[in-house]
Amino acid sequence: MTRLIVWRHGNTDWNAGGRVQGQTDVPLNDLGRQQAVDAAELLVKLKPDAIVASDLRRAADTAAALAALTGRSVGHDQRLRERYFGAWQGHTMTEVAALFPDQHARWQAGQEVGGDVESLDDMGKRMAEALLDAAALAPPGGTVVVATHGAVARQGVGHLLGWRLEQLRTLRALQNCHWIELTRDDKRGWQLAAYNVGPFSERPVPPPV
């Protein structure tokens, strides 16, 4: 049975400020780096055979925390990047609602946003393809960890499982440095084994010295 771990990156200052990141290359903050270490200490117990990450720093640096414990190198795949949010990127959702009210209303309803925001279908397809290629790196019965982003993780997993958008909306947003576990065997294909798994508590960020 192949196991695929789809892991969201750690916290960033834009996460903390409620800003839309999309494909803007925002780095981890102190909390995010600690979250990556805490999560890696759990994921290393799964003995991953391969680690693949989005090339955006917040995901790549999250994966690096696990690589440091396993001794494995990290492969990078642009298809694992977050959804492209176009003109929304850099704005808070309050600002998005004011600047793009029609698009924001469609987003809240789970519909295609339009404009220059990447479509749900395009995002799901490219992410599912990247996940399948990552899974192929594992030997039979092996484990692959993929470090990626929240929106694209949920959409890509849903596409891989063949879920309708209505089903996918029943899943809560993936928390920073939490992950989805998928398994695959010849009889059942891909199955969701666990969702939003991660460290039980967040360590406080130490004050600057």
- Cβ atoms 1, 141 nearer than 8 A: yes
Q: Locate tokens 């960033």: which residue?
A: 12
Angle between helix axes 120-135 and 150-161 (nearest 10 degrees) is 80
Strands of 50-53's sheet, edge to edge?
A: 74-76, 50-53, 143-148, 2-8, 179-185, 189-197
Residue type, 85: F
Query: Which residues form the catalytic set?
Result: 9, 82
CB-based contacts of 207, cutoff 8 Å, min separation 6: none
Question: What is the distance between the alpha carbons of residues 180 and 178, in angstroms, rounded to a whole number?
Answer: 7
